[in-house]
Each structure stands twice: as structure tokens, then as C-alpha cells.
């Protein structure tokens, strides 16, 4: 299946929720896509086909919906899975980075021993909006010495400019709005 056709199939399953979580925001709900086993498999396959031959050591998944795609991708690729979690959720020594959301502030953490210097990683999340969450995760990976091969998203909201915050990391998204 061609990428454009596959992307269109996935996009048709994304539900728009206006004014969530705040007035003026259109939330892109991926629940219908995840509820359809064939579409979830298709999304996972598009990611895994992209990274199958790139010698990836680990997938870094961003809290919380990034865990869905990150765990499936790590399983298929046979790599480790590293969690970028909201502050206070990881039990061991961590490194932290704070960031602005499109509607607030937050802090992410990764275990301080999760990434070895030079380890080749793909960072994955469900949506790229303003880029704050992913920039914080990229900063954490670099702080630990990881080599970011690419940052990957199911959805990229191109009008919000999040990609500009992620330079110089290469970006891949399956669906764009």
C-alpha cells in the first residue's frame, strides 16, 4: 500500500473534538484508530518499515499516548523501550526537562541510566503540536548522550510550528493537518 493511501486511511479514523481540553483547541482523538485492529497494525507497520534497517538501539516513548506506538514499535524492532514520563512517575534517579504546552507547563523525566552515550534512538509520540513536549524529550536524550535518528509522530499539526523547535532532529509524521 502506498504511504499516501495508508495515511488517508488512518486520517479518516481520527476524530476531531472541538474545544477540548479548552475553548478554541481542536483535539485530534486517535481512539477510533486504536480501536480498529487493522488500522493500529497499519500505523505500527508504517513506523516499523521506516526503521527496520536503521540499526536502532532503543525507542524513546513520550508519556502517555507515545507509549502506545512506542511499545508496539520496540516490540516489532526488537529494541529496548525507554519512557519519557511526567515528573514524579519514575522510581529511580532521573534527569528532567521542563517545557510549555499549548495550554500550560509540565516537566518530563527519563531514568538517568536509561540511555548509553552513542545509543541510536527514535523518539515517538502521537501528536506534534507546538513541540514543547518533544523538545524536552530530545533535550533529555542528548543530555544522556543518545544519538537521535529521528523523531516520529502519528500526527503533525503543521500550522502550530512545532517542527521548528526540534531542529536539527529529523522529523517523520504519517498524518499532517
Task: Say which CATH number the domain at 97 has.
Answer: 3.40.50.2020
- The answer to whether residue 111 sits within a structural domain is yes
Task: Assess whether pLDDT exceeds 80 at residue 102.
Answer: no
- The answer to whether residue 13 sits within a structural domain is no
Mean pLDDT of all residues in 46-54: 97
- DSSP letter for each residue of the chain: --HHHHHHHHHHTPEEEET-SSTT-EEEE-HHHHHSHHHHHHHHHHHHHHHTTS---EEEEETTHHHHHHHHHHHHHT-EEEEEEETT---S-EEEEEEEETTEEEEEEEETTSS-TT-EEEEEEEEESSSHHHHHHHHHHHHTT-EEEEEEEEEE-GGG-GGGGGTTS-EEEEEE-
Mean pLDDT of all residues in 144-160: 97
Per the structure, the complete domain to which residue 119 belongs is given by 54-176
- The answer to whether residue 1 sits within a structural domain is no
Largest CA distance in the chain: 44
pTM: 0.95
The percentage of residues in the chain with a pLDDT greater than 90, rounded to a whole number, is 92
Binned at pLDDT 50, 70 and 90, residue 103 comes out as low
Q: Given 65, 120, 142, 150, which residue is catalytic?
A: 65
> What rounded mean pLDDT belongs to the chain?
96
- The answer to whether residue 157 sits within a structural domain is yes
Q: Given 9, 41, 50, 102, which residue is catalytic?
A: 102
Q: What is the pLDDT of residue 3?
A: 78
- The answer to whether residue 19 sits within a structural domain is no
Q: What is the pLDDT of residue 134?
A: 97
Task: Assess whether pLDDT exceeds 80 at residue 16.
Answer: yes
65 is catalytic: yes
Task: Assess whether pLDDT exceeds 70 at residue 5.
Answer: yes
Task: Assess whether pLDDT exceeds 70 at residue 24.
Answer: yes
Binned at pLDDT 50, 70 and 90, residue 1 comes out as low
Mean pLDDT of all residues in 21-27: 90
Mean pLDDT of all residues in 59-78: 98
Task: Assess whether pLDDT exceeds 70 at residue 113.
Answer: yes
- The answer to whether residue 140 sits within a structural domain is yes
Binned at pLDDT 50, 70 and 90, residue 80 comes out as very high
Domain count, the chain: 1
- The answer to whether residue 119 sits within a structural domain is yes
- The answer to whether residue 46 sits within a structural domain is no
156 is catalytic: no
Task: Assess whether pLDDT exceeds 80 at residue 164.
Answer: yes
Amino acid at each position: 500500500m502506498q504511504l499516501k493511501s495508508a495515511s488517508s486511511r488512518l486520517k479518516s479514523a481520527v476524530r476531531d473534538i472541538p474545544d477540548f481540553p479548552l475553548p478554541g483547541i481542536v483535539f485530534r482523538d486517535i481512539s477510533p484508530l486504536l480501536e480498529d485492529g487493522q488500522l493500529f497494525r497499519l500505523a505500527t507497520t508504517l513506523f516499523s518499515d521506516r526503521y527496520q534497517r536503521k540499526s536502532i538501539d532503543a525507542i524513546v516513548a513520550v508519556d502517555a499516548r507515545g507509549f502506545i506506538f512506542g511499545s508496539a514499535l520496540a516490540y516489532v524492532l526488537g529494541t529496548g523501550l525507554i519512557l519519557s514520563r511526567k515528573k514524579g512517575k519514575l522510581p529511580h534517579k532521573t534527569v528532567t526537562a521542563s517545557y510549555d504546552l499549548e495550554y500550560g507547563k509540565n516537566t518530563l523525566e527519563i531514568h538517568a541510566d536509561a540511555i548509553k552515550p552513542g545509543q541510536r534512538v527514535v523518539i515517538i509520540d502521537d501528536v506534534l503540536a507546538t513541540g514543547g513536549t518533544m523538545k524536552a524529550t530530545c533535550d533529555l536524550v542528548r543530555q544522556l548522550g543518545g544519538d537521535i535518528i529521528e523523531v516520529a509522530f502519528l500526527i503533525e499539526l503543521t500550522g502550530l510550528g512545532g517542527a521548528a523547535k526540534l531542529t536539527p532532529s529529523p522529523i517523520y509524521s504519517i498524518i499532517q493537518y
